[in-house]
Amino acid sequence: MATTPVPTFDRPEPIPVALTYDDVLLVPKRSAVRSRRDVSTKTFLSRRVRLNIPIVASNMDTVCEAAMAVAMAREGGIGILHRFCSVEEQCAMVRKVKRAQSLIVDDPRTIAPTATKAEALLGFAWEGRKGGVRSLMVVDGFRRLLGIVTPSDIQFSSDRVTVSDVMTPRDKLKVLTTTQVSVDDARQLMHQHRTSNIPIVNGENQLVGLITGSDIAKLLNNVHASLDTRSRLLVGAAVGVKSADISRAEALVAAGVDALVIDIAHGHSDFCLDMLKALKANPKTNTVDIIAGNIATAEAARDLIAGGADGLKVGVGPGSICITRLVAGSGVPQLTALLDVCRVARRAGIPVIADGGVRTAGDVSKAMAAGASTVMLGNMLAGTDESPGKVLVKDGKKVKIIRGMAGYGANISKAEREQQLEDDVFLDLVPEGVEGSVAYKGAVGSILKQVVGGLRSGMSYCGVTRIEDMPKGASFVRMTTAGLKESGPHDISKL
């Protein structure tokens, strides 16, 4: 009688042990680092995207929209805009970040010389920048520059004046005829001519750009900001793996995004590989770096690198609001996942993002020592002013909400934002994320200072001055439960 053949398989014995941040410590090494200031925190998000600090805001709808992305880039990191919204909404966020500052505004707001006072006042309140604009370029029908009008030119004038009556005319302005100008050139010119607006014109006196005092001030005040070649803030955005995500990706690149992150829970899948290859082959999207994830093994790293990934995102199950490991029984503790992926990725020169499970500045040092180039933070940033959502009061304490993107809340609000809410759409959803609250923490800048300060300290304990040298300089020791207990504050009476 024929029997059903029993499939055979090889299982590595014994089952390997996998570790995470709390299982290890970095052994202090002899160090020539005399000051934490001697340590550089420059790094790469992906093959071509450089950052000044290795911190990335997570593409979660309770963590990163435009305000967080602006703040992160100003501090030298970057934010990845979540995709749980319509394409238009996500592109509007990209444009908002890109418009937050630039050395040269290439589409300055203009007005006709015949415009009325009321029209000029309307023109100042342009919705693109918070609070409107502080000057309007007066141009004729051929976009030739005639002058500049500012709110103070018009504020107390009679209602009957036209713009040409009150503007500062072209011959009284400092005007440039080149776009080849540095921040310092612009600062000096503004000081020399006591002006905060320098228009740029071409050979026909047509307006081609504007340098504003507020942009120069932002550039001078945030010297460590992550900037593109036009001194605009860097920003990334997440896309999914459905066919509609191709046009989302194209729209995001057209809006000015600097990197795309393929965001899928199981990045070592044909879905992710197919999307990666499609984006890399598409001339409308392959102009920016494509980061793929999330993964947790060396094999996944090999496959995604072969598929053309410019960066890898590592983390299956370590996130604070994540229940994937409970629901699916799958995942790899984060330190082992990083060590395995980074072994492959570093050889190929592909930067790795350590995504999820970072609870302390010490974990950031451990992630860098395992070979990561950046860490992605959700929980640590969700309670800040710049994260989306309101400050609530829970048990007398100020909190903000954080929720898993594979949970009910995020998916219901995604459907609402995309206007696709149908009654039975969530019957089949098996949530792999939960919702919770985190303490309200104020401005994100102060959190980043603590995290980066801790990393600098960690690097000095390992005797290295560059993030990329951390794996060489660092050795890990395993900890016992007693060691872990000894690591936190203990044996003190609470004040």
**Nearest-CB residue for ligand XMP:** 433
Nearest approach, Cβ of residue 67 and ligand XMP (Å): 18
Q: Is 110 a catalytic residue?
A: no
Please, which residue, 197 or 365, has the CB nearer to ligand XMP? 365
Nearest CB to ligand XMP, comparing residues 288 and 321? 321
Q: How far is the CB of 257 from ligand XMP (least distance, A)?
A: 18
- To ligand XMP, the closest distance from the beta carbon of 463 in angstroms equals 28
Q: How many CB atoms lie within 10 A of CB 6?
A: 6
Nearer to ligand XMP, 73 or 176 (CB): 73
Q: Which residues contact 86 (CB under 8 A, 6 or more apart)?
A: 417, 418, 419
What is the distance between the alpha carbons of residues 463 and 32, in angstroms, rounded to a whole number?
6
Q: For residues 354 and 2, what is the distance between their CA atoms, to the nearest angstrom?
A: 51
Tell me whether residue 64 or residue 73 sits nearer to ligand XMP (CB atom).
64
Q: Which is nearer to ligand XMP, 294 or 460 (CB)?
A: 294
Checking DSSP bridges between strand 50-51 and strand 236-239, what pairing results, if any? unpaired
Active-site pick, 64, 272, 322, 462: 322
CB of 265 to ligand XMP, least distance (A): 6
Q: Closest separation between CB of residue 55 and ligand XMP, Å?
A: 11
Our CB check for ligand XMP shows the closer of 112 and 402 to be: 402
Choose between 215 and 355: whose C-beta lies nearer to ligand XMP. Answer: 355
Provide the minimum distance between the beta carbon of 62 and ligand XMP in the complex, in angstroms, as a whole number: 9
CB-nearer residue toward ligand XMP: 333 or 433: 433
Task: Kindly report the backbone phi and psi dihedral angles of residue 322, in degrees, each rounded to the nearest multiple of 5, phi listed first.
Answer: -100, 135
Instruction: Quote the least distance from Cβ 289 to ligand XMP, whole Å.
Output: 18
Judged by CB, which is closer to ligand XMP: 303, or 363?
363
CB neighbour list of residue 347: distance below 8 Å, 6 or more residues apart:
none
Long-range CB contacts (within 8 A, 24+) of 469-472: 470/365, 470/368, 470/369, 470/371, 471/342, 471/346, 471/368, 471/369, 471/370, 471/371
Quickly count: other Cβ atoms within 10 Å of residue 463's Cβ. Answer: 16
203-241 as b/e, with b when 16 or more CB fall inside 10 Å? eebebbbbbbbebbebbeebeebbbeeebbbbbbbbbbb
Q: Output b/e per residue, 426-441; b: 16+ Cβ within 10 A.
A: eeeeebbbbebbbebb
Q: How far apart are CA 289 and CA 291, in angstroms?
A: 6
- Cβ pair 275, 309 in contact under 8 A: no
d(CA 264, CA 269): 9
CA 452 from chain centre, in angstroms, equals 16
Known catalytic membership, residue 91: no
Neighbours of 302 (CB within 10 A): 15
Closest CA to 163 of 198, 136, 197, 196: 136
Least Å distance, CB 493 to ligand XMP, is 31
Could you give the dihedral angle defined by the CA atoms of residues 360, 366, 370 and 373, in that order, rounded to the nearest 10 degrees?
Answer: 60
Taking the CB of residue 55, how many other CB atoms lie within 10 A of it? 28
Binding positions for ligand XMP, rule: CB under 6 A: 58, 60, 265, 294, 315, 317, 319-322, 324, 355-358, 376-379, 404-407, 432-433
CB of 436 to ligand XMP, least distance (A): 10
Adjacent-strand bridge partners of 147: 138, 169
Shortest Cβ 434–ligand XMP spacing (Å): 7
Identify the active-site residue in 150, 212, 324, 336.
324
Encoded amino acid at 446, one letter: S
Given the complex with ligand XMP, which of 199 and 383 has the nearer CB atom? Answer: 383
Separation in Å, CA 218 to CA 57, 75, 197, 212: 21, 12, 14, 10
Which residues on neighbouring strands pair with residue 291, listed in sequence order?
261, 311
Listed residue (318, 327, 393) closest to 363, CA to CA = 318
Q: Which amino acid is at 287?
A: T
Active-site residues: which are they?
A: 322, 324
